[in-house]
Amino acid sequence: LNASITGLYKEVFPTRAKAVDEVSELKAEIKKLGASGSDGALSVLKKLTDAKGDDPREIYEVDFDGTTVSGRGYDRSVQTVSDFKTKALLQFATFEVSEIKSRPDGSVSFAFRGALKGGGK
Q: How far, rounded to the nearest angstrom, does the alpha carbon of residue 107 sit from its chain's CA centroid? A: 21
Residue segments in the chain with a per-residue pLDDT below the cut of 70:
1, 30-39, 56, 119-121
pLDDT at 45: 80
DSSP letter assigned to residue 121: -
State percent of the chain over pLDDT 90. Answer: 17
Domains in the chain, please, with CATH? 2-34 (no CATH), 37-119 (3.30.1360.100)
pLDDT at 94: 92
Tens of pLDDT, residues 64-78: 877 888 889 899 888
Half-sphere exposure of 65 (CA within 13 A, CB side): 7
Q: What are the angstrom distances between the C-alpha of 119 and each of 34, 36, 59, 114?
A: 18, 13, 23, 11
First to last CA, the chain: 36
pLDDT at 95: 93
Question: Bridge partners of 5?
Answer: none
